[in-house]
Structure 1
């Protein structure tokens, strides 16, 4: 039987509390987990929504999700894909063009401590053998010297660019390859310039080491 004949596609409206984002390959936003009165669900995000989310969205935020549901009559499996998302703040519901705006409303009503910026770093063997260990140590040392307590290093799985090892992704999603320990001062000067006003000018990163921001 043709798989399209055994699949029913309908619209759905789901309301629940946000649990966490689902990230693929250490940096690609794919979907989110929602807790509803009927249980926990994974909802895949349409491509236009993946770029609208602010990853600071607090767990527990009440979301209303509209999209398409695919139900396989043979296996009983259900797949949910969100096309539109709305967020609720307190007792009044808002309908922003993106959930990023909803986060801004929540923070203005109830400011919270700034969350840490995260540097994603591949920990697989190719990256480690090609200078990854020294790079990680240099990052930790330099972050400490600059008192960047709000920046942390998070190890990830393979970033699918072994030929360009070592690989890392900065908090603004700019991806770098072939970065070595000696490049760390220039890297941090570029991404955190305000915290190093008295530092002597450093050498620019080689153009071959800079990759355009990651596109999911």
Structure 2
């Protein structure tokens, strides 16, 4: 009787309820948590999908995941890695995707060298000043993140919860877009 002494790859397809992300140190989604009939799964996300998914999936969404499962011979564990993820239905618990999470509008700002060289650092600094000067710190947060994959259009921001992309923005234009969103959400 021979034993397998190497890892084995097998394809998988699973559907379930998206519970949330596990992020790495720069707040990039690295794993997703999925609730299935038999419990919960932790699935690693392919690098090319990480930034796109962070802005499209919300807890409670029904999704299907395709990928590879690797059986680790040494540990006897299966490791799952997603190649493709598709949203099947939106979260039915959420009446309005436009309601700010925790009552706040969030600005996600790329803080990688490409955006920083094209004014990203100044843009974030100016936005922080405007928020402070107008007393909006309790309504708007700024989160820096890794590359948003739009380097040619730098600097790059995303306004949440609308997932509005702001590219190649001057501080003045970004402030105008931000204040418009804040007025919409808190009017």
Unaligned runs of 5+ in 1: 90-102, 121-134, 160-168, 174-186, 198-216
**Aligned-residue offset at 1:153:** 4.3
Q: Does 1:152 align with 2:141?
A: yes
Instruction: Tell me how far apart the structure 1 counterparts of residues 12 and 108 of structure 2 sit (CA, whole Å).
Output: 36
Instruction: Tell me how far apart the structure 1 counterparts of residues 158 and 10 of structure 2 sit (CA, whole Å).
Output: 36
Work out which of the two has the higher radius of gyration on C-alpha atoms and give 1 or 2: 1
**Aligned-residue offset at 1:70:** 0.3
Aligned CA RMSD, in angstroms, stands at 3.9
**Runs of 4+ residues deviating >6 angstroms:** none
Deviations, residues 11-60 of structure 1 (Å, cap 9, x unaligned): 11111111112221133232211121222221111223224325252201
Instruction: Tell me how far apart the structure 1 counterparts of residues 72 and 42 of structure 2 sit (CA, whole Å).
Output: 16
Query: Is the deviation greater in 141-150 or in 6-15?
Result: 141-150
**Aligned-residue offset at 1:61:** 0.7
Instruction: Tell me how far apart the structure 2 counterparts of residues 155 and 51 of structure 1 sit (CA, whole Å).
Output: 13
**Aligned-residue offset at 1:74:** 2.7
Q: Give the alignment's TM-score, normalised by structure 2.
A: 0.56
Unaligned runs of 5+ in 2: 110-123, 147-154, 160-169, 181-187
1:5–1:171 distance in 2 versus 1, CA, 3 Å: farther
Larger RCO, structure (CA 8 Å, separation 6 or more): 2
Q: Is the 8 A contact 2:67 2:84 kept in 1?
A: yes
Q: Is the 8 A contact 1:146 1:195 kept in 2?
A: no
Q: Give the alignment's TM-score, normalised by structure 1.
A: 0.50
User: 2:130 — aligned with what?
Assistant: 142
Give runs of aligned pairs for residues 27-176 of structure 1, distance below 5 A: 27-55=27-55, 57-89=57-89, 111-115=96-100, 116-118=105-107, 139=128, 142-146=130-134, 148=136, 150-153=139-142, 171-172=157-158
Aligned length: 140
Instruction: Tell me how far apart the structure 1 counterparts of residues 23 and 47 of structure 2 sit (CA, whole Å).
Output: 14
